[in-house]
């Protein structure tokens, strides 16, 4: 390597600390990333920073990938190299940035966490017939029965519920409305709750109210879901979106109908729904009444 290389690297790291006001932790992370680049250049007989070509820059990224680094780590190293060369170009110590246009591998989306059927069923077993228990049981059943988002359930109005037709009308992202089916267990839980629903304050039409008759806030709904999961012996932390994931996962396991699940979830793009296609589909069936474990009718 060129003798000026260490001076250039040190100048960049000092710039990060004194001008950009980066923390020592961040500065050290940049230093580690540039050390990897330095080792790569040594192996490729690239003697100076200004001699690194775009092809060699792509080779550096490919080497990180072959070493088994994750997409996030490669993105960070690539960002450090780009920033470093941007500094060198500004200082007149490099003619161009060889990392411009070099892309890191795309980071994969984490798979959604879902309850298994036994865990989901246990969570539905909210004991008691007092209004608070009836309300919470109805919320849990509806989350799992129909795959609602937290905001969708919190915004549900009395006129949105059609128990005779076993459907609810929800307003999702982008103010898009959809009608989704409600399983038998959820219908029974909703009926029991609505019979005990307190007198609403100021004529509020919300389905789920607090004990004072005011709309139930999303934070309160999250807290009740988490509390019941602990109370009923589930070992993992449970939140409303996990019930939505469980709805989609269990439905796809039984039906394999991705388009139908897209409609039920209210996804505008099927690519969003495809995150669930890691599942090993077991058999084809009708999408809702016969597929969802809490919508099936009992056999005589």
Catalytic residue among 82, 86, 122, 267: 267
Catalytic residue among 135, 137, 166, 244: 244
Contact 176, 152 (CB under 8 A): no
Contact 113, 249 (CB under 8 A): no
130 is catalytic: no
Catalytic residue among 5, 58, 178, 241: 241
75 is catalytic: no
Contact 295, 145 (CB under 8 A): yes
292 is catalytic: no
The b/e string for 160-178 (b: 16+ C-beta within 10 A; e otherwise) is: bbeeeebbbebbbeeeeee
Q: Which of 106, 137, 139 is nearest to 124 (CA)?
A: 137
244 is catalytic: yes
Q: Which residues 6+ apart lie within 8 Å of 245 measured at CB?
A: 112, 113, 114, 276
Q: Which of 178, 205, 179 is nearest to 194 (CA)?
A: 205
Catalytic residue among 173, 205, 231, 237: 173
230 is catalytic: no
Q: Which residues 6+ apart lie within 8 Å of 223 measured at CB?
A: none
Catalytic residue among 137, 149, 197, 245: 149
Catalytic residue among 30, 85, 276, 288: 276
259 is catalytic: no
Which residues are designated catalytic?
149, 173, 241, 244, 267, 276
């Amino acid at each position: 390597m060129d003798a000026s290389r260490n001076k250039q690297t040190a100048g960049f790291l000092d710039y990060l600390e004194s001008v950009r006001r980066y923390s020592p932790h961040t500065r050290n992370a940049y230093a580690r990333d540039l050390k990897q680049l330095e080792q790569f250049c040594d192996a490729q007989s690239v003697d100076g920073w200004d001699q690194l070509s775009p092809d060699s820059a792509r080779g550096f990224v490919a080497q990180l990938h072959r070493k088994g680094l994750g997409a996030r780590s490669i993105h960070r190293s690539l960002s450090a190299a780009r920033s470093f060369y941007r500094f060198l170009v500004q200082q007149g110590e490099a003619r161009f940035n060889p990392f411009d246009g070099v892309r890191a591998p795309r980071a994969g989306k984490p798979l959604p966490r879902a309850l298994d059927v036994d865990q989901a069923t246990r969570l539905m077993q909210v004991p008691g017939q007092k209004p608070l228990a009836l309300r919470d049981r109805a919320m849990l059943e509806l989350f799992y029965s129909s795959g609602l988002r937290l905001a969708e359930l919190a915004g549900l109005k009395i006129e949105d519920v059609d128990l005779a037709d076993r459907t609810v009308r929800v307003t999702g992202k982008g103010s898009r409305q959809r009608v989704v089916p409600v399983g038998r267990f959820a219908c029974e839980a909703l009926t029991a709750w609505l019979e005990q629903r307190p007198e609403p304050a100021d004529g509020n039409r919300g389905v789920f109210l607090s004990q004072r008759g005011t709309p139930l806030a999303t934070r309160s709904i999250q807290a009740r879901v988490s509390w019941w999961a602990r109370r009923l012996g589930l070992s993992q932390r449970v939140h409303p979106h996990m019930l939505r994931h469980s709805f989609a996962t269990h439905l796809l396991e039984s039906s394999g109908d991705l388009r139908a699940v897209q409609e039920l979830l209210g996804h505008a793009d099927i690519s969003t729904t495809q995150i669930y296609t890691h599942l090993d589909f077991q058999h084809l069936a009708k999408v809702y009444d016969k597929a969802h474990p809490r919508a099936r009718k009992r056999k005589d």
